[in-house]
Amino acid sequence: MLQSSLAIYRYELKKSFSLGTTLLWICVILFPTILQLLINLIGSSLPDEFTGVLMVGMIPGAVCLMTILSSMAPYLNTELEGNTWPYVAVRPHGRTALMLGKYFVSVTRSVIAGLLAIAIVMPTLNLNESSSPVPLASVKPVVNAQPLAESDLQDAAPTGDVNNLPADLQQDTALPLWLALSMLVVLSSFCYSTLFCLLGTIMHKKPMILAIIYTLLVEGVISMLPAVVNAFTINFYLRSIFLRAMNWKLTDLPNALSFINDPNMFSQATTFWDLISLTVLCGIFLLTANALLRNREYHVGETL
């Protein structure tokens, strides 16, 4: 089955870089840069947090999602309408090999598109350099420092807990924006490909339309609700991981981002457990899609 999946992966990946598909793919990749250039042309100064949220919405939330939507959602519909499904269905493990091969094609194209979009858009961003983390080792001693009083020395003495240190002595562990975006691109590519794989298996007759409706309703609206139900969405964990990676505090966000100041909209667990939750969700999506694909009967050329 592994060899069959790799064969399908190589064939479908080469096939996906046709002229028309590649031109559309490039336009999607350039979209965040064009939008950022228009913002720079207006000359408006945006907070770094707003720029980061905008890039998350444009690259993992638009570039990657559109790439996955066009490649993974109609994976089964293409075989049914192209009359190639009988040749796949009669082979041993042919259905699973088809699903896995197209799944990795979707992940590959999404990761490449997201990383290229980050590389192109980063030189156009007007980020505040003073907001970058400064390691403690790079802080230069003050030459003409005044001696501290004994009471001041006692207040500044470490007690073994880093949270008790003065705010200006706490080390900032925020990741650079490009690195946090790259991490989110990889995670969203793997996770959303499993989601659209399941949606393409269940709703194979009109996969693109139904997948868009589901994404807007569940990943867009329900994931933003401050309720327990948002824990069953991928967007909930991805934005929580990004918030910790950038070391942002909800109380420090600008007024333009006040709509996400509710702590219930973010995971209260650690990044490790968020990754475990994403792995469980993706495993459920893939196993369910594979079970449906192997046990359902599909008719060649069926349409609505």
- Each residue's pLDDT tens digit, 36-70: 888 888 866 667 777 888 899 899 989 999 999 98
Q: Which of 105-119, 212-226, 253-267 has the highest mean pLDDT?
A: 105-119
Neighbours of 300 (CB within 10 A): 13
Q: Indicate the pTM of the whole model.
A: 0.80
Does some domain include residue 106?
A: yes
Does some domain include residue 301?
A: no
pLDDT (0 to 100) of residue 258: 57
Using DSSP's 3-state secondary structure scheme, residue 226 falls into coil
Cα-Cα-Cα-Cα dihedral sign, residues 289, 293, 296, 302: positive
For residues 174-189, give the mean pLDDT: 92
Q: Has residue 81 got a pLDDT over 80?
A: yes
For residues 206-231, give the mean pLDDT: 87
If one counts the domains in the chain, the total is 1
Does some domain include residue 215?
A: yes
Does some domain include residue 270?
A: yes
pLDDT (0 to 100) of residue 209: 87
pLDDT (0 to 100) of residue 226: 78
Contacts of 240 (CB under 8 A, 6+ apart): 266, 267, 271, 274
Burial class of residue 303, CB neighbours in 10 A (0-12, 13-18, 19+): exposed
The CA-atom distances, in angstroms, between 90 and each of 3, 86, 303 are: 17, 6, 22
Does some domain include residue 135?
A: no
Q: Has residue 202 got a pLDDT over 80?
A: yes
pLDDT band at 204 (very low <50, low <70, confident <90, very high): confident
**Which domain covers residue 232, as residue numbers?**
2-126+174-295
Does some domain include residue 242?
A: yes
